[in-house]
Structure 1
Amino acid sequence: MSFRTNLQYLRSRRNMTQEQLAMLLGVSRQAISKWESEKAYPEMDKLLAICDLFGCTLDDLVMGDVSRPATATAPASGPASTSPTADGKSGNGDETHGTPAAQTTISEQRERAQQNLQTPAAVLPKDITGYDAHRLRFSMMIASGVAAIIAGVGVGNLFDSEHSIIGDSPLNDFLTFVCICVGVIVGLALIIPGSMAHSDFRRRHPYVEDFYTEDDRSRETRMTAVGVVAGIAAILIGIAVSEYADTVLEIGAGWPIAVMLLLIAAAVFGFVYCGIRRGMLNIDGYNKETEQEKRNRAGDVPRSAQLSGALSGIIMLVATIVGLTLLFLVPGSLFWMSWVIGGLLCAVSGVVVGLFKDRFDK
């Protein structure tokens, strides 16, 4: 078999299109088409990437037959072969070896061995794009950034003007401001680079083959459950500490609020970290999102999405006009309720448009 035939066989065994293979290898779809039509030949790094992706050797891919790997056919004659003795008979010492029953048994064994060689074991997909490492790094950076902002506010409460840990000092307000600023800076220093790295990863790898097993998903589900339960427990402990300090110690601000916010920061870290880790296991959703973004950039947006966006924009513009009018012309009014109502109306319009999506997208 030639390289073209081997590549087509490997791709069809994974039910993979030329475009998907091109995304995994970082080349264009036209390059895959040229390889399979023998109009061009891939470079060595692409050949090695194909071997890693499909779990085959370079010799089998280029010169052999990937449907019958050479490594599997080598010992084919081992158990079924017999060595003749000097008198021309079989050397296994069995006098009935030459009988029809024995010959049938040996033939069946050879036939089964041949069938096993012709049916190579399925190779599990591999993470050749580094998606799993990116998933762990992205979830850690986003969760740490959000937790850092909340923790900064919590530490700032240690210098509350009424119950500061350094007593009555003119530095209390300054230290509170510094703690909040440090928390925000650290949080943004983690969230912004993490988000940009995620966008860059999606740009470089618009398609990722699903390599996660059911065991991986079960493990992440258990981890998410533990993170949610631990986070809820931390929040309840923080509320209990704050209530105890307020009712028993008569300290309604200062360190009790700081302890509560720090525990909330830890809980939010667990929620965000475990949630992102588990959510990014949905490789199909990742591929669909990148495909939808590609269509949006090309201007190929469904009419239902265009209509939903237009309705939401009109609703929020009207809500803004009403809110500002109430703010300046009707003192003491609940002007901010206009945005709340506007958001609810946007949700309602989205649901209604979704019900007639098929009709709009015809």
Structure 2
Amino acid sequence: MSFRDNLQHLRASRNMTQEQLAMLLGVSRQSVTKWEAEKSYPEMDKLLKMCQIFDCTLDDLVQGDLTACEASSSPATVPAGPPTDICGYDEHQRMMAWKVPTGISAILVGIAIGLFFEGAVELASWDGRDALFVIIVLVGILAGLAFLVPAGMDHAAFQKAHPYVEDFYTDEDRARARKAFSGGLIGGIACIVVGIGFLFVFEKAAENIALFFLLFFIALGVWNIVHWGMLLGRTNVAEYNKTVAEDLEFEDLMTAQIDEARRKELLAAKRSNQKIGAVCGAIMLASTIVALVMLFAPMGQADTWSWGDFNPEGTTAMWFWVAWVVGALLCGIVSVLMRAFAKDEAPKNTSDR
């Protein structure tokens, strides 16, 4: 008797769908489908988990004949005992909590170093900006992307392989994460305050040094806040499961073995997310264009613009990053409003049916 036959019989005898088994194992439904089609074979940790779920030995599951076993009408449940991280979720999230803030901080540090060395070497200028500054900033952006792009690809692959994760964090784990985030948040804000202090101290004596320390300490503050914030967010496994379900393709949702009400809910949420994503994408694209114009265009030169008594020296290019901040705020506002209107329309659609 084959493993496939045993698995199909054990699952059917307990009225368990492929999706339910996938949830218990922390894998995708497609993985279970491939096992039962003999297109792939589960890893050892998944086999051992199945032995716990179906109350059988590994030899019987893999090589024995379990089709003669008496059918069980009991619901599918995870065996007694505390839940465990069987798919490496915690390790993955900790890796993300290092790579993402490091990538963001690398870009900020690149800008800081560029401002520090601007004008140190005689190079050609690009639209009023020192070429050395532009080169260093681009290197910083590349360094940041070297962390952010692989992290994003790894996270997408992990979500696809593990669309559902059983919550294994305890109340003590969440309490420690909240405490650590509080310390990281305070430390991050302190770093930003120190950077602002350097700006006031060195602003008149050495503007380049003032801007360098300002952005350097902002980078440290951002790293702390994002890092500890992501470590706190990882303990919200329910939000992870919700997000992954919303990110599944329409084809996956249509073929998933879930009840019709849940399917309609996920399809509606996905359509709403696509609309929000399209609007936010347009906003951030416009923000990027504005930022690039502020960085490279010969605009806002000294004595050409002022706000009352405030007449800054240099160019507005040093503030090009503000465009992304404004864009992100607009995206947040649009997302909140669109989700609120979507919720208001839901009862009307239900009543119409």
TM class by smaller structure: 0.5 to 0.7
Partner of 2:23: 20
Tell me the TM-score normalized by structure 2.
Answer: 0.61
Alpha-carbon separation, structure 2, partners of 1:204 and 1:312: 23
Partner of 1:232: 189
Larger radius of gyration, structure 1 or 2? Answer: 1
| Deviation digits for residues 159-178 of structure 1 (CA, Å, limit 9, x no counterpart) | 233xxxx4xx4149333222
Contact 1:224 1:278 in 2 (8 A): yes
Give the 3-state SS of the residue equivalent to 1:184 in structure 2: helix
Q: Give, as a single letter, the amino acid of the residue that structure 1 aligns with 2:234.
A: M
Partner of 1:178: 135
| Deviation digits for residues 124-157 of structure 1 (CA, Å, limit 9, x no counterpart) | 2221211111111112111100000000001111
Give the 3-state SS of the residue equivalent to 2:342 in structure 1: helix
Alpha-carbon separation, structure 2, partners of 1:342 and 1:266: 25
| Deviation digits for residues 172-222 of structure 1 (CA, Å, limit 9, x no counterpart) | 933322221111000011101100110011111111111111121111111
Q: Do the aligned partners of residues 54 and 254 (structure 1) sit closer, same or farther apart at CA in structure 2, a change above 3 Å counting?
A: farther
Shift of 1:21: 3.1
Shift of 1:281: 1.6
Query: Which residue of 223, 229, 239 maps to 1:285?
Result: 239
Contact 1:146 1:187 in 2 (8 A): yes
* Deviation >4 Å, runs of 4+: 25-32, 45-48, 52-64, 297-317, 339-347
Q: Do the aligned partners of residues 140 and 57 (structure 1) sit closer, same or farther apart at CA in structure 2, a change above 3 Å counting?
A: same
Q: Structure 1 vs Structure 2: percent identity of aligned residues?
A: 24
Partner of 1:87: none
Aligned length: 269
Q: Do the aligned partners of residues 360 and 314 (structure 1) sit closer, same or farther apart at CA in structure 2, a change above 3 Å counting?
A: farther
1:142-153 map, 5 Å: 142-153=100-111
Q: Give, as a single letter, the amino acid of the residue that structure 1 aligns with 2:114.
A: G
Structure 2: segments with no counterpart, 5+ residues: 1-5, 62-78, 125-129, 255-263, 286-322
Q: Give, as a single letter, the amino acid of the residue that structure 1 aligns with 2:208.
A: G
Contact 2:28 2:160 in 1 (8 A): no
Query: Which residue of 216, 221, 225 maps to 2:178?
Result: 221
Alpha-carbon separation, structure 1, partners of 2:34 and 2:232: 35
Alpha-carbon separation, structure 1, partners of 2:91 and 2:163: 16
Q: Give, as a single letter, the amino acid of the residue that structure 1 aligns with 2:80.
A: A
Shift of 1:315: 12
1:325-340 map, 5 Å: none
Contact 1:308 1:353 in 2 (8 A): no
Alpha-carbon separation, structure 1, partners of 2:230 and 2:273: 27
Alpha-carbon separation, structure 2, partners of 1:295 and 1:152: 37
Alpha-carbon separation, structure 1, partners of 2:85 and 2:59: 23
Partner of 1:49: 46
Structure 1: segments with no counterpart, 5+ residues: 65-120, 321-335
Q: Give, as a single letter, the amino acid of the residue that structure 2 aligns with 1:51.
A: L
Contact 1:53 1:126 in 2 (8 A): no
1:1-362 map, 5 Å: 17-21=20-24, 23-24=26-27, 28-29=31-32, 48-52=45-49, 122-161=80-119, 166=120, 169-171=121-123, 173-246=130-203, 250-251=204-205, 253-294=207-248, 296-297=250-251, 298=253, 302-303=267-268, 306=271, 347-360=336-349
- Aligned-residue CA RMSD (Å): 4.6
